[in-house]
Amino acid sequence: MGLVVLMSYVIGAKKNQKKLGGELPVKPTKKVIMDDTEWKEKLTPEQYRILRKAGTERPYGEVYSAFKKQGSGKYACAGCDTELFSSNEKFDSKCGWPSFYDPSQAKNVKTSVDYILGYPRTEVVCAVCEGHLGHVFTGEGFDTPTDKRYCINGTVLKFVPDQPPGSEKKSHKPAAPSN
């Protein structure tokens, strides 16, 4: 049973982490609202469990290992492609989940208090699709500009690598015929 869950998690994570060519997908201009059937079609089972049912992925998994190796880029919501974080705010808190000290696009992230574990925690959700992303913790003493740790489930993030300088898309005009 555990192997089946792990394999579906790894397969789902790989499906979600495909390279997007240095460009963020087209961002929705208004709230994204879908019923459960539509969300289940769009997301992997693990993404659905986390984004729509406020689940949590296991710490120190394959997605976390990949996250630690990712270079410069942006992180978008797997539910709606909205930019949430960037590698500029990424840091290694050694907690087993991707960590950021601030969102790159604050307007795209909302917080609210949840009591799921019996005590108050600050939940982080995507402001566009209202998908659960993780939690934010303050006052932990990390040497970051905000002293905050946005502890985010990596499975619900799409990494979009920055394009290296000079690799912008060039038009492919056919060469002029030579005489």
80 is catalytic: no
Q: Is 140 exposed, middle or buried (0-12, 13-18, 19+ CB in 10 A)?
A: exposed
Residue 11: both structure tokens together: 């397969």
Catalytic residue chosen out of the listed positions 80, 126, 129, 151: 151
First-to-final CA distance of the chain:
69
Q: Is 143 exposed, middle or buried (0-12, 13-18, 19+ CB in 10 A)?
A: exposed
Neighbours of 112 (CB within 10 A): 9
Q: Is 26 exposed, middle or buried (0-12, 13-18, 19+ CB in 10 A)?
A: exposed
At residue 108, what is the residue type?
A: N
Catalytic residues: 151
